Amino acid sequence: MTGGPRLIVGLDEVGRGCIVGAVVAAAVILEPGDQIDGLADSKKLTPRRREALAAQIKTRALAWAIGRAEPGEIDRINILQASLLAMCRAYAALPLPADWAKVDGNHYPAKLPCPGEAIVGGDATVAEISAASILAKVARDAEMAILDALYPGYQFAVHKGYATALHQARLAELGATPAHRRSFAPVARALSKPFELFPIDSQA
């Protein structure tokens, strides 16, 4: 790009540590010079604050998009590769290309058609990544609400798909839904053994 500010895209995903549903990623190119106050790691914000910021991001960002990788893809290629795939899909859905990408974490998607860097903790320090984190979290939480309605009893809207004691108890009682990730230990073991609690994965 010649002339004008360089366009930076932030990329982040949500749902790596969950045992049900897709891993959801977002890509955000903020309007150069337009600072959105309050951007932060989505995990540090209340649901109400995330919703309010998501509305601002969608209105004021130069471009944004959501990408995802489904439970079957996660089981087939593993959660890390699925997370990178979801970010590539989010980038591909943008209406314009970026000049540089900033990706949360320590893995840069090899197939991302844009030069850039991976930044550990970027969701808390880089505005573009924070914005992506917020959009991805809001989108995935909305999907959990839909799953909650489709599969009553699992309380997906409460635990958001993480392997909490509540989720594992419902899984043992009701069995796995088509949306559960069968390669994840709590799901695989719940399908083959009596109910037992497993450590909670706290990753976003």
The helix (run of H) or strand (run of E) holding residue 25 is: strand 23-29
Among 98, 77, 115, CA closest to 27: 98
* pLDDT class of 191 with cuts at 50, 70, 90: confident
Tell whether pTM > 0.85: yes
User: For the chain, what is the mean pLDDT?
Assistant: 92
- pLDDT per position as a tens digit, 5-32: 699 999 999 999 999 999 999 999 999 9
The pLDDT value given to residue 3: 54
CA angle 108, 162, 117 (to 5 degrees): 10
Domain boundary assignment for the chain: 8-147, 152-192
- pLDDT per position as a tens digit, 66-121: 999 999 999 999 999 999 999 999 999 999 999 999 999 999 999 999 999 999 99
The pLDDT value given to residue 44: 92
Q: Just give the CATH number of 8-147.
A: 3.30.420.10
Q: How far is 80 from 83, CA to CA, in rounded Å?
A: 5
